[in-house]
Structure 1
């Protein structure tokens, strides 16, 4: 059986969110709503955070609540099923602090889990952070250099090791700060108590022993804890969540085209394909797969087989800290032998239906998006959807292609 120290990124599904704070610095704003539930461009901040968490395959949410826990429960009961997530709520007695909240929820924690501050968003590749957790680490933190570290305690690092956490100085100077995203081993809770600070009483002492790691990222970061940043969030967060996307054909682009690949046993990644997905994830770009799957219509395999293969691809990618945001496939063909699928479809490339469906469900910046395929009909579908399209040449590395396109954007 795999132990906690052997847990891989592919195994981490639990996201724990600290949402018990009162939000006193926001004054009258938090009289009507809890800080994580305050609206950002008419959508609760916590819902925007859940969207980012869920797209990385973290589908089991544990809310650590305290003040007005029933508000969190009502929100979760409505939002989580709509976002395809399951949830639990652990309510701390009184005000236990960030460390105490974890201590009281210890029986609900997976051996390794993601932990998020419920009032900040840091746009990083979460799965990349998970790959940075070494066997002897109790946690790895996402770190961010900020121009004004006055409101934050700063972090001192030595290579990948976090060595020290400093208290807030109030000095308006640049500094490296804790970005509020952690990958944590449950064993860390042994260093906590029923009422304590996670950073001061848990992470800081453990950092001195060399058991806390950190990884620098430079993605969008915001903490809505003060009025000026909450106001800035109204425009900055929706703008940051509207990303470019790269649409990838499957057979002949990501994997060898062995004609109607429907079984996992026949699937073989092309060189540079997995690396390309990771490159795009690290760049903060949505990654979608759009693939014609006429093998279903022709009776070579069924839709369940397509979904199994896509789940296998996702699991393989997660082991290197990568993922596909969404898959779309077209099982129809006018010459199909399976009656239910023997018809034309506006999802079948060169028609743009799959792309248009994704554009209707995801906040995509189409002007900065493109498609990569290996056939003329892939490029035609992209153009029909209003996107740039590129045809990969035989033997060309997908990773090199996407790096070149990103560099020229």
Structure 2
């Protein structure tokens, strides 16, 4: 089963409820903290392993293009499709039809809903033409109320229904077949496409309690200035590779040599869902010994990432040391030196408080201590998910 690789973001709206704040800037580029709101969305998408991004632009699209040109996408492909007149959420999708994968995630460009996107799109879940990410809020009147029964959406009310309930969180897993009936011109997913799918019993939903903030009104835009930068302040979990997430099988460098440690996928997903940045830090002396090259290691790590994503998890960064003292001059990246940990947190800032490392050798623990975080020795005699759960609980 293939993993979903594409995320489409609606960034074309004017944002009239924010008044003159959007006179000169499209809403997704309004500053939050010290950078544009859209950068937080893209960071979240890319660190979870999605490498194909389409921005559906309209209002002040040239500024969106300038932002993308300056943004470090870490190898992800970001494309912009621009509408020349307002087309609505469905019309914007139809306008980009030739750029869409068969299955893709769609999200609003003015909302940060901090869910595990890989778990939301996991291929093990029942297939759906459209799956909604739903959020419980204290008052649904601003958003419109959704009711869910046995995983199927059975009603979607207009705005104005007060009280606690489920709302549409603005993240969807869509199959292109769900939008096959959309034609050229204005079309609203919410008012035209979703009601039809609901009537057919083909609209499903998953409930989440994760952080949710829509910057579309002034009071929530003000709240975003502190809440969203604080959300990005995550601790890190550093995992050794051979002996921790896979068996140590004598310089493994090909997929057929990988034997996963029981609970490896579940452990990484638990860390993802618990708000950790997850880094693999591994000594790869086989490169110095001439047994394989750095390209082979990168290709293996790409494959491993896709295997994690199939199980609703992701690694935020793979870091390896290619050196060995018998063949190289001294380096600062081979454990017990902390160079890989330093590089990981330079590439993706993480706070030391709450961070930890799991390794199977003394050199792993020493690297953690030199970096200023606890190191935990894992000897493969238990399920890795259970081992991680105990660390988090402490």
Classify the secondary structure of the residue corresponding to 1:219: coil
Classify the secondary structure of the residue corresponding to 1:377: helix
Please tell me whether the aligned partners of residues 31 and 37 of structure 2 are also in contact (alpha carbons under 8 angstroms): yes
Give the alignment partner of residue 41 of structure 2, picking from 44, 49, 57. Answer: 49
Please tell me whether the aligned partners of residues 124 and 284 of structure 1 are also in contact (alpha carbons under 8 angstroms): no
Where does 1:41-80 land on structure 2 (aligned, <5 Å)? 41-79=33-71
The alpha-carbon deviation at position 133 of structure 1 amounts to 7.8
CA 1:135–1:8 in 2, change beyond 3 Å: closer, same or farther? farther
Please tell me whether the aligned partners of residues 122 and 309 of structure 2 are also in contact (alpha carbons under 8 angstroms): no
Separation in 1 of the partners of 2:392 and 2:87?
46
Separation in 2 of the partners of 1:189 and 1:305?
40
Separation in 2 of the partners of 1:248 and 1:82?
24
1:401 aligns to 2:387 (yes or no): yes
1:190 aligns to 2:180 (yes or no): yes
Residue 2 of structure 2: aligned partner = 8
Residue 168 of structure 1: aligned partner = 159
Give the alignment partner of residue 27 of structure 1, picking from 15, 19, 22. Answer: 19
Give the alignment partner of residue 278 of structure 2, picking from 281, 287, 299. Answer: 287
Residue 265 of structure 1: aligned partner = 256
Give the alignment partner of residue 324 of structure 1, picking from 303, 315, 318. Answer: 315
Residues 219-228 or 304-313, more deviating: 304-313
CA 1:211–1:170 in 2, change beyond 3 Å: closer, same or farther? closer
Give the alignment partner of residue 390 of structure 1, picking from 371, 376, 382. Answer: 376
CA 1:314–1:406 in 2, change beyond 3 Å: closer, same or farther? same
Separation in 1 of the partners of 2:301 and 2:290?
18
Where does 1:74-89 land on structure 2 (aligned, <5 Å)? 74-79=66-71, 81-89=72-80
Separation in 2 of the partners of 1:298 and 1:107?
47
Separation in 2 of the partners of 1:405 and 1:367?
14
Residue 236 of structure 2: aligned partner = 245
The alpha-carbon deviation at position 319 of structure 1 amounts to 1.4
Where does 1:111-190 land on structure 2 (aligned, <5 Å)? 111-131=102-122, 136-169=127-160, 171=162, 173-190=163-180
The alpha-carbon deviation at position 93 of structure 1 amounts to 3.6
State how many pairs are aligned: 393
Q: Which has the higher contact order (CA 8 A, sep 6+)?
A: 2
Residues 39-48 or 204-213, more deviating: 204-213
Please tell me whether the aligned partners of residues 123 and 310 of structure 2 are also in contact (alpha carbons under 8 angstroms): no
Separation in 2 of the partners of 1:82 and 1:106?
23
The alpha-carbon deviation at position 132 of structure 1 amounts to 6.5
Residues 289-298 or 98-107, more deviating: 98-107
TM-score when normalising by structure 2: 0.96
Separation in 2 of the partners of 1:128 and 1:274?
12
Please tell me whether the aligned partners of residues 150 and 169 of structure 1 are also in contact (alpha carbons under 8 angstroms): yes
Residue 379 of structure 1: aligned partner = 365
Spell out structure 1 runs of 4+ moving beyond 6 A: none
Please tell me whether the aligned partners of residues 51 and 83 of structure 1 are also in contact (alpha carbons under 8 angstroms): no
Please tell me whether the aligned partners of residues 46 and 73 of structure 2 are also in contact (alpha carbons under 8 angstroms): no
Please tell me whether the aligned partners of residues 133 and 140 of structure 1 are also in contact (alpha carbons under 8 angstroms): no
Once the two structures are superposed, residues 14-43 of structure 1 have per-residue CA deviations (whole angstroms, 9 ceiling, x without a partner) of: 211101111011011111211000011120
The alpha-carbon deviation at position 396 of structure 1 amounts to 2.1
1:221 aligns to 2:216 (yes or no): no
TM-score when normalising by structure 1: 0.92
Residues 189-198 or 311-320, more deviating: 189-198
Please tell me whether the aligned partners of residues 8 and 53 of structure 2 are also in contact (alpha carbons under 8 angstroms): yes
Separation in 2 of the partners of 1:133 and 1:151?
34
The alpha-carbon deviation at position 47 of structure 1 amounts to 1.0
Separation in 2 of the partners of 1:154 and 1:262?
51
CA 1:353–1:88 in 2, change beyond 3 Å: closer, same or farther? same
